[in-house]
Amino acid sequence: MRSWTRLSLSLAGVLLLSAPALAQTKWNLPAAYPTDNFHTENLNAFAKDVADATGGKLQVTVHANASLFKAPEIKRAVQTGQAQAGEVLMSLHENEDPIYGLDVVPFLATSFDQSKKLWDVQRPAIEKKLASQGLMLLFAVPWPPQGIFAKKDINTVEDLKGVKWRSYNPGTARIAELVGAQPVTVQAADLPQALATGVVNTFMTSGATGYDSKVWESLTHFYDTQAWIPKNITFVNKAAFDALDKPTQEAVLQAAKTAEERGWKTAQEKTKWYTEQMASKGMKVQPPSPELKAGLLKIGEQLTQDWLKKAGADGQAIIDSYKKAAM
């Protein structure tokens, strides 16, 4: 082969090889919480960091408020490649594997500090489980601690009997069962409507979701029980990640690390602000009475037993290493 032919052939090869690398990749990232919720803001900051670090080569579009997929459908959509990435409340998927529900076992980890330690021991198991489902974990961010919203005084768990209880995952539905409330599953995107129409009048969640749902328009009491700290996880379809070039993959991982740190910091900073907002709107914000606390602790013990029964020896080992780390 003449040298100029060889040269032009190899040039063509370079052009061919670099063409896909230059192309822009677009990811859709469905999420389930309102646009101005701090989780969504964190996702948008993540998307911006990725775009900046890759010179716009990877564009992540966040679809907030369950506008692309309903909360319980997001994970499956990413597994099947209908979306490339997604954010979900991890415990929504507790029925697939108990490991997804460890952070909603009541009173196991109730401060952000404990919650971080729990996440450190939970993370490898979550990564492994997600990998077995064709997914790769990007980051996890907590919600503020969970309290009780109600329309009347709740002095003991008996006062919860018969209330119209909004649940958002298997764990909160199980609490309704234990206290004798009537459970209705309502995801956050539908909560304002469910409150306005009186479908529900009592539930446990964070001040963040209370604030997002303008809960003071329908309910009057908030009991700051700090019962557990659930987390959202953001993940990507593994094949979509593998299709990126190395520098883009690294940009995604770096932005994910930053998003996790920023998310934990924001959750902690905003916790007090949310309760202050509810108080300023006229809600009675108060700690639980000792009787209520004792009743909830008992429910927590029951749910811990339930969880251990489902999670077996692997679950026990994770709880043991958490307890060691948290001491």
Binding residues (CB under 6 A) for ligand PCA: these are 89, 143, 168, 188, 205-206, 208-209, 230
Strand bridging mode 284-286 / 135-142: unpaired
Distance between CA 215 and CA 191 in Å, rounded? 9
Q: Shortest gap between Cβ of 175 and ligand PCA (angstroms)? A: 13
Q: Which is nearer to ligand PCA, 122 or 205 (CB)?
A: 205
Structure tokens at 87: 């954010």
All residues at 6 or more sequence positions from 181 whose CB lies less than 8 Å from its CB, including other chains:
160, 161, 162, 163, 164, 165, 175, 202
Provide the H-helix boundaries in 101-155.
112-132
Q: Which one, of 307, 192, 197, lies nearest residue 205 by Cα?
A: 192
Q: Shortest gap between Cβ of 206 and ligand PCA (angstroms)? A: 3
Token pair 């007090």 is found at 272
Q: Which is nearer to ligand PCA, 59 or 114 (CB)?
A: 114
Q: Shortest gap between Cβ of 208 and ligand PCA (angstroms)? A: 6
Q: Which whole-number Å values give the CA distances from 315 to 66, 165, 302, 304, in the listed order? A: 31, 29, 16, 11
Q: Which is nearer to ligand PCA, 194 or 311 (CB)?
A: 194
Q: Which one, of 197, 202, 219, lies nearest residue 167 by Cα?
A: 202
Q: Shortest gap between Cβ of 89 and ligand PCA (angstroms)? A: 5
Q: Shortest gap between Cβ of 185 and ligand PCA (angstroms)? A: 10
Name the 3-class secondary structure at 156.
coil
Q: Shortest gap between Cβ of 226 and ligand PCA (angstroms)? A: 12
The one-letter code for the residue type at 129 is K
Structure tokens at 82: 């209908």
Q: Which is nearer to ligand PCA, 168 or 222 (CB)?
A: 168
Q: Which is nearer to ligand PCA, 57 or 166 (CB)?
A: 166
Q: Which is nearer to ligand PCA, 27 or 165 (CB)?
A: 165
Q: Which is nearer to ligand PCA, 96 or 320 (CB)?
A: 96
Q: Which is nearer to ligand PCA, 84 or 206 (CB)?
A: 206
CB-CB contact of 49 with 259 (8 Å):
yes
Distance between CA 47 and CA 160 in Å, rounded? 42
DSSP code per residue over 176-226:
HHHHT-EEEE--GGGHHHHHHTTS--EEEE-HHHHHHTTGGGT--EEE---
Using Cβ positions, the residue closest to ligand PCA within the complex turns out to be: 206
Q: Shortest gap between Cβ of 191 and ligand PCA (angstroms)? A: 7
Distance between CA 86 and CA 67 in Å, rounded? 12
Q: Shortest gap between Cβ of 250 and ligand PCA (angstroms)? A: 31
